[in-house]
Structure 1
């Protein structure tokens, strides 16, 4: 197995040189998984890879770079898979039982803090590679350089993405009760290591939360690449009259080598005055949905709760919006990962103080390209939903 690891590293990310100073994992922020859901076995199977590679072989003018990488990877997979008795090369686990569930790791990296600047001073090579000192936000556009064969794009194929379902304030030390929370949680990946914010709250406009509250996410801005290692970076604080308290501060890593795919896990990030739970899943064969919602023809003010449920995770809610609507407006754009070909459901709850809650649902089938729209007429206004499908990687 140790021989196979370097081979996979070289194949999955061309152009990245090996470093003499590897990323060190010195302590774990996670305890045993708080929850996990059973779902279908990891879907990186031999037929799946054959399906992905075959169009490149048949194409009259195949992309040479992508053909060579995927073809070599297929050969290696077929050669070594019988030895490890498992086709899940995302986790590289010699599973004795196809139903085995290996908890995902979320491990804190070398010591350092944003609050005192020490996290920027160390000379670890991974900090340079992920541009930890660069505070700019990611701006990676959707791929547009399609190559079609028999009406199907063979350049942009499903890939491996990290989906963040929720962030929750799990613990608060002392008797703080409700607190004013500010700061950020962001992700960095191989595609573009600049900050991809999940939460970014100004100290001048904090949110009010208490122990057990969800922290409303405003991101990610794009899908999160999970070929290799993704970093989760965080610096969140509680604003008080006696001085601000540090909630969590640091950087943790999620790798694609160890742990079960296509299942949701909750991990806890511990800090000085409390902890935050993050629920995530590593999704194979994934595409990304860009969800845009516009409310028009508003008759009167109402409350709207918009939630997303992706196929295979029916109990895991992705909260897209929860607030009051007073006039016609567009909501923030949301990006969600889903397995190619699965069904994504959007559930809307609308209500006012003087009326009961009405629930509406619309469904969309995940695809590598294209878009779909739905219009929902309510007593309060018209809700228009548009979902654009795309992939993250351009081969």
Structure 2
């Protein structure tokens, strides 16, 4: 397969024909090994997928050297994408170039991983599997699976009327119907909310006519107990739905727009 387009994938997930297809869902990225024996590192670079939709770079992770993510060995690398679903009717090419900031000059940085890996839609498992991407100065573990007959759920979360800061954890639950209704839960966001804001947009592959579950865990400052709120959305070819969560100290609006991958 020849790739000649070096641009970034389209932001609009609604473009093209709206039909379900096999999609690749990346559940998590984890820093498996580093040359640093202890402590945190500053990580930047990118991991991106190219599929047959437009062969453009669909970034799963992208950070500049001026805005690195701080992680430790064994910890989750927070993803920044993808911008749209990753079609897996044929092949997907995964490109990666991730580096460890190691000084004032870029020439002093360490190359964590660098290269490409190809995933074949005919051979990719429906059960979540973890693969290791090895590099010169460490490794990244990626958990992913094929989601059959899927559409993309574009999840937007807006937080308003914040009265006091709180910790927020958001995870998603999807059904992998080809593996005897196995339900996979994976984290989308974890952090502290101190003011009204919107979270980044999340794009999740969901099999048509199954249910996307979203789980919110909210911990108020000064309290040892967590509040849990759940909402669910039935996967459709198009349209959108919303859910409102009212708390004493904040309001959370969840909107899910259904968008089949353009083919």
Q: Taking structure 2 as the reference length, what is the TM-score of the superposition?
A: 0.91
Does 2:129 correspond to 1:251? no
Contact 1:130 1:189 in 2 (8 A): no
Cα displacement string for residues 51-102 of structure 1 (whole angstroms, at most 9, x for unaligned residues): xxxxxxxxxxxxxxxxxxxxxxxxxxxxxxxxxxxxxxxxxxxxxxxxxxxx
Does 2:53 correspond to 1:191? yes
Superposed, 1:194-343 pairs within 5 Å as 194-241=56-103, 243-260=108-125, 262-312=126-176, 313-317=182-186, 319-343=187-211
Please give the alpha-carbon distance, in whole angstroms, between the structure 1 residues aligned to 2:11 and 2:22: 17
Contact 2:15 2:262 in 1 (8 A): no
Would you say how many aligned residue pairs link Structure 1 and Structure 2? 254
Please give the alpha-carbon distance, in whole angstroms, between the structure 2 residues aligned to 1:222 and 1:346: 18
Cα displacement string for residues 305-328 of structure 1 (whole angstroms, at most 9, x for unaligned residues): 1111112353441x2222221221
Q: Structure 1 or 2: larger helix share?
A: 1
Tell me by how many angstroms 1:380 deviates. 2.0
**Structure-2 change in CA distance of 1:140 and 1:360 (3 Å):** closer
**Structure-2 change in CA distance of 1:140 and 1:379 (3 Å):** closer
Superposed, 1:163-174 pairs within 5 Å as 163-173=25-35
**Structure 1 residues without counterparts, runs of 5 or longer:** 1-125, 146-154
Cα displacement string for residues 142-185 of structure 1 (whole angstroms, at most 9, x for unaligned residues): 4467xxxxxxxxx6321111111000001123525321111111
Larger radius of gyration: 1
Please give the alpha-carbon distance, in whole angstroms, between the structure 2 residues aligned to 1:316 and 1:235: 28
Cα displacement string for residues 189-222 of structure 1 (whole angstroms, at most 9, x for unaligned residues): 1101111111111111211111111000110000
Cα displacement string for residues 1-43 of structure 1 (whole angstroms, at most 9, x for unaligned residues): xxxxxxxxxxxxxxxxxxxxxxxxxxxxxxxxxxxxxxxxxxx
1:92 is matched with none
Structure having greater relative contact order (Cα 8 Å, sep ≥ 6): 2
Contact 2:124 2:146 in 1 (8 A): no
Which 4+ runs in 1 deviate beyond 6 A? none
Please give the alpha-carbon distance, in whole angstroms, between the structure 2 residues aligned to 1:264 and 1:367: 23
**Structure-2 change in CA distance of 1:266 and 1:144 (3 Å):** closer
Tell me by how many angstroms 1:284 deviates. 1.3
Please give the alpha-carbon distance, in whole angstroms, between the structure 1 residues aligned to 2:47 and 2:185: 20
**Structure 2 residues without counterparts, runs of 5 or longer:** 177-181
Please give the alpha-carbon distance, in whole angstroms, between the structure 2 residues aligned to 1:176 and 1:245: 16
Match of residue 363, structure 1, among 217, 232, 235:
232
Please give the alpha-carbon distance, in whole angstroms, between the structure 2 residues aligned to 1:160 and 1:393: 12
Superposed, 1:16-31 pairs within 5 Å as none
Tell me by how many angstroms 1:259 deviates. 3.9
Q: Taking structure 1 as the reference length, what is the TM-score of the superposition?
A: 0.61
Contact 2:111 2:135 in 1 (8 A): yes
Does 2:255 correspond to 1:386? yes
Contact 1:140 1:192 in 2 (8 A): no
The secondary structure found in structure 2 opposite 1:314 is strand
Tell me by how many angstroms 1:341 deviates. 1.0
Contact 2:171 2:214 in 1 (8 A): yes
